[in-house]
Each structure stands twice: as structure tokens, then as C-alpha cells.
């Protein structure tokens, strides 16, 4: 069963990434977590994402492209990264979500990956 672990982080934590004092702790925590995920042999794929302000959002309305600078929606917590893991069931996925650093200061959502549609 494939689940996407979706890590959302508040701005404070995004700021820690480039903070000379807090950066090592931030990256240390994520590095250890990702190493544990890889060590368990359950990772299908995954990535960290650049900070939200580097995002660009595009919508097409009435045939016109509306582009805006920044993420959608502009909320307190933003997507910081994701992993797709292969574990037996939701309880196992919850275990891995609980270990993610963002669960303690932001949030981690667990979403089942949609299985491919049955062949017609």
C-alpha cells in the first residue's frame, strides 16, 4: 500500500533552514528521519521542497492565465516536502508520520496513493 506523507511547516521552520545557529538542528532532524526511512527500505520516492516564496501559482480563468507569485493557498503552514512510502497499512504509515520532524512543530498528513484505475 502506497501512502504519501505530506510535511507542512510553519514559516519559522522554513527560516531555520538558512539560520546558521538553528540550521544544523533542522537539517540534522530531517537527515536522520530520511536516513531511517531509507534504511527501512520503504521509500518509493520523495523530495524536500524549496521555500514557499519560491513557488508560483497558475490558474486559467475565462481562458486567461492568471499567474501569481507564491504558493496556493497563502496559509500559515506550507508544504515543505513529501515522501511516498510502501507500508502494509494505515497504522504503519501513522508510525512513520509520527517520526517526522514536522509532526511535532507543523503537521504531517497521510494520504493513500490512488491505485491505478482498473483496465477497461
Partner 1 sequence: METTARAIAERVARTSYGRLVAYLSSRSRDIAGAEDALADAFRAALETWPDRGVPANPEAWLLTAARRTLGHARRHEKVRAEAEPALTLLGEEMDGLAHPVPDRRLNLLFVCAHPAIDPDIRTPLMLQSVLGMEAATIAAAFLAPPGAMAQRLVRAKAKIRAAFIPFEMPEADDLAERVDAVLVAIYAAYGAGWEDVLGGDAKRKGLAEEALFLGRMAVDLLPQNPEARGLLALMLHCEARKRARRSANGSFVPLAEQDTALWSVPMIAEAEAHMLTAARAAQLGRFQLEAAIQSVHAQRLRTGRTEWRALMLFYDLLAAGTPAAGILVSRAAAHGEAVSPQDGLQQLDLLDADAMRTYQPYWAARAHLLARAGKASEARAAYRTAIGLAEDEAIRSFLRRKQELIRAD
| Residue ranges that bind partner 1, judged by CB under 8 A | 1, 88-91, 94, 110, 112
What is the signed CA dihedral for 61, 51, 29, 94, rounded to 10 degrees?
0
For the bound state, the minimum distance from the C-beta of residue 94 to partner 1, rounded and expressed in Å, comes to: 7
Of residues 40 and 66, the one with the C-beta less far from partner 1: 40
For the bound state, the minimum distance from the C-beta of residue 56 to partner 1, rounded and expressed in Å, comes to: 31
Of residues 88 and 116, the one with the C-beta less far from partner 1: 88
For the bound state, the minimum distance from the C-beta of residue 97 to partner 1, rounded and expressed in Å, comes to: 11
Backbone angles phi, psi at 18, to 5 degrees: -105, 15
Q: Are 114 and 7 in contact (CB under 8 A)?
A: no
Amino acid at each position: 500500500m502506497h501512502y504519501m506523507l505530506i510535511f507542512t511547516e510553519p514559516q519559522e521552520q522554513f527560516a531555520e533552514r538558512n539560520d546558521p545557529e538553528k540550521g544544523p538542528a533542522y537539517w540534522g532532524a530531517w537527515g536522520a528521519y530520511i536516513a531511517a526511512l531509507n534504511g527501512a527500505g520503504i521509500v518509493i520516492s520523495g523530495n524536500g521542497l524549496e521555500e514557499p516564496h519560491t513557488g508560483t501559482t497558475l490558474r486559467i480563468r475565462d481562458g486567461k492565465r492568471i499567474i501569481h507569485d507564491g504558493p496556493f493557498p497563502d496559509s500559515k503552514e506550507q508544504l515543505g516536502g513529501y515522501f511516498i512510502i510502501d507500508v502494509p497499512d494505515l497504522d504503519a504509515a501513522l508510525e512513520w508520520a509520527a517520526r517526522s520532524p514536522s509532526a511535532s512543530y507543523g503537521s504531517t498528513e497521510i494520504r493513500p496513493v490512488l491505485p491505478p484505475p482498473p483496465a477497461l
